[in-house]
Structure 1
Amino acid sequence: MSYTDLDQLTDRFGSQMLVNLTDRSDPRGHAVDTDIVDRALADTQAVIDGHLVGKYALPITDVPPLIAELAATIAIYKLHIYTPDEKIGDDYKQALRSLESIAKGTIKLSIEGAPAAAGQSSGARLTDRKRPMTAANMTGFI
């Protein structure tokens, strides 16, 4: 299961762009190479899961629209074998910043089964250790 798929990429970026990015055969076949797209989608899921591993139960089964959008942005960037145009590069950087914000909790996703954030405290932390000064060892000083 991936956070986006070929149909969503085609809807968003157009089939011609996907053909241009994935048809690497010689002579050109003028068709989308689904193996290349599948590799980019797997890499994209790994990037997203890597950011969200401590925050949410993975893999996300009911994909929120924000994650689908970030996945499409990252996948199209990963399909480029050469430097992409400035807009795609900027969108990719913004997607990574959004993932970092989700991981920090600045952006919250409403996902079923999301575990409570580990390590967050709601108040004072008490420790139980031996007291260095007690009435018994302070005899004569009190």
Structure 2
Amino acid sequence: MAYATLQDLITRYGEQRLIEMTDRFDPPAEVIDEGVVAKALQDASDRIDGYVRVVYALPLTETPAMLRGLAEDIAFFLLYEEPTDEARKRYTEAVATLRDISAGRVKLPIAQGAESPSRPAVVHVTSQPRRFSRQSMGGL
């Protein structure tokens, strides 16, 4: 599940900035490379899922604005070949927030019933009695 879109990144960071970060053509095409952005957004969503699935059942029925912002910050960081201090700071804060979500210190503003059970399910198995044992195979 993608938590943010190309349009979200354009709205937050500006089209020209994204062109500068993603246009890796020679000569420059002066357009956003949507494939590069899609990869960064998917990687960001995968990282978010890794933290969120500890507490919430995935896929979420709605995308909270908080997760959209975190996805934008993570994708923004991933788009850099050499991240700036600003991008690194946003990424670090995003990961810290995800850790808080995973630990239950921060709750997502989503509908009730979306949280995963806090303990894993228990599986009970019943089987037939052993047919072969040391005693039954003693003379073989």
Which TM class, normalised by the smaller chain length?
0.7 to 0.9
**How many pairs are equivalent?**
119
Matched, 1:68 2:71: no
Residue of structure 1 in register with 2:16 after alignment? 16
Deviation per residue, 1:17-59 (Å, 9 max, x gap): 1001110011100000000001001100110001111211112
* Paired amino acid for 2:107: K
* Paired amino acid for 1:67: L
Give 3-state SS (helix, strand or coil) of 1:37's partner. helix
Residue of structure 2 in register with 1:88 after alignment? 87
Residue of structure 2 in register with 1:2 after alignment? 2
In 2: Cα distance, 1:117 partner to 1:105 partner: 12
Q: Cα RMSD between the aligned structures?
A: 1.5
* Paired amino acid for 1:58: L
Question: What percentage of aligned pairs have identical amino acids?
Answer: 36
Deviation per residue, 1:68-107 (Å, 9 max, x gap): 110100010011112x111111110000000000111111
Q: Which runs of 5+ in 2 are unaligned?
A: 121-140
How has the CA–CA distance of structure 1 residues 20 and 93 changed in structure 2, closer, same or farther, with 3 Å as cutoff? same
In 1: Cα distance, 2:95 partner to 2:108 partner: 16
Tell which structure's C-alpha radius of gyration is larger.
Answer: 1
Residue of structure 2 in register with 1:111 after alignment? 110
Per the TM alignment, residue 116 of structure 1 is displaced from its structure 2 partner at its CA by 4.2
* Paired amino acid for 2:84: D
Per the TM alignment, residue 110 of structure 1 is displaced from its structure 2 partner at its CA by 2.5
